Amino acid sequence: MGEHMKTHIKEKRYSCPDCGKRFINESYIQIHQRIHTGEQPFLCSLCGRGFHTASSLKLHEMQHSGERPYACSICGKRFQINSYLNRHLRTHSGERPFPCPMCAKRFPEKGLLMIHQRIHTGEKPFPCTFCEKRFASQGELRLHRRTHTGERPYHCSICLKSFSRHWHLKTHLEAMHCEVVAGFTRKKFPCSACEKSCNSAAELRDHQRTHTGERPFQCSFCDKRFALSGTLVRHERLHTGITPYHCSDCGKTFMSALQIHMRIHSGEKPYQCSLCGKGFTQKAMNRHRLIHTGEKPYHCSLCSLSFNQSGRLREHEKIHLGEKYDCPECDKTARNPTKGKEKENSPLSIRAYLSDIRIFFRPHK
């Protein structure tokens, strides 16, 4: 009873050494500090995502089950817990009961006020365990960590493409699948300098730099400038040599996309073809879909042939380039269909060449 009464009289004698947040019980600090250390001991059995507390895991599991027992009496929207409903009701009432003592700006939640106050204090209590950056809120840190881990938890149910942020998925649905997703209407952003139309204002801004030549992002190590901030970040790693993503299985380090590499070790194939049921990695899934659609997006610039894989196009182009194939086990060399007369580039000659290659690369006995 004594511990419970402290929640009413708000006696908070214990403070976090990292961010100063105060608690009524010392054990609460140990749980809270998982935010700073990145420890996530509670794992979802359905998707493997980790959480700092058991209550956070329980809320997450409701997303899988679809359970939302609390309904708004005004608009009917449903929520997982009562506090989410109370927060939502303020969007109808316009109530903002938490004012900032420094600038008088008001907020509907105490947590939002605390995050806002760090703008004034400059406090950034949430450090990244992968690099030296610090953040003012746990949400900012969580989004930043995905740049290291390669995590993309938001998946398009139509084309299986994945995204690191929810609004990226929403933008993708509006831009690419509005015809099949109810409630979306495609809005186009036309370029005034050419006939191209973009799917978002941000995409249009980036595109217009191809006309203006604007490169607002300059490398801090050399004189190179870039049109996109992401291109600058990748370029600067060439100077620093930083490969912040370390594989615990093989020791390799990467500049990005560690999670994709880890699937080599785990054998995970999270993307399932809706037509045949086979599992693939994301890149392999994109290639596999072309088998069902019959699409051949890779065109030879020297003849009329098209291919469904870029690797097959490269092999085909060797016909035109005149490259020879040396056998690694003997001194044979495959014939070159481009050598000699021009008529050897005819479809008949190409078929003979491919037949020759198949014979040439038969296993040696």
pLDDT tens column, 46-55: 777 888 888 8
pLDDT tens column, 315-354: 888 777 776 655 555 666 654 444 433 434 444 445 555 5
**263 half-sphere exposure, CB direction, 13 A CA radius:** 16
CA–CA dist 228, 232 (Å, integer): 7
* Cβ–Cβ < 8 Å for 252, 260: no
Give, for 43, the enclosing helix (H) or strand (E).
strand 42-43
pLDDT tens column, 15-30: 888 777 888 888 888 8
CA dihedral 142, 145, 149, 152 (to 10 degrees): 40
Examine residue 100 and state whether it is found in any structural domain, yes or no: no
**What is the domain count for the chain?**
1
Residue range(s) defining the domain that contains residue 348: 296-360
Examine residue 99 and state whether it is found in any structural domain, yes or no: no
* Predicted pLDDT at 342: 41
Examine residue 103 and state whether it is found in any structural domain, yes or no: no
* Cβ–Cβ < 8 Å for 154, 164: yes
Examine residue 38 and state whether it is found in any structural domain, yes or no: no
Summary mean pLDDT of the chain: 76
Examine residue 224 and state whether it is found in any structural domain, yes or no: no
Q: Which CATH number characterizes residue 331's domain?
A: 3.30.160
pLDDT tens column, 246-304: 677 777 776 666 667 777 777 777 777 777 878 777 777 778 878 888 888 888 888 88
Examine residue 120 and state whether it is found in any structural domain, yes or no: no
Examine residue 323 and state whether it is found in any structural domain, yes or no: yes
Report, as an integer, the average pLDDT of 84-110. Answer: 85
Examine residue 3 and state whether it is found in any structural domain, yes or no: no
